[in-house]
Amino acid sequence: MSDFLTRRHGTWHFVRRVTSEFADFDNRVIIRHSTRVRIAEDRTGRRAFHVAQKFNEQLEAFWRAAAQERSGAAFTRYDEERHCARSLGFDYTESNLLMASGAAKCLDRIA
The pair phi, psi for residue 107, each rounded to 5°, is -65, -35
Domain boundaries defined on the chain:
5-110
DSSP state of 92: -
Model confidence pLDDT, tens digit, residues 7-57 = 899 999 999 998 888 887 778 889 888 888 899 998 888 889 988 999 899
The pair phi, psi for residue 91, each rounded to 5°, is -85, 145
Ranked by mean pLDDT, the top range of 23-27, 58-62, 71-75 is 58-62
SS3 3: coil
The pair phi, psi for residue 19, each rounded to 5°, is -70, 155
Note the pTM of the prediction, 2 decimals: 0.58
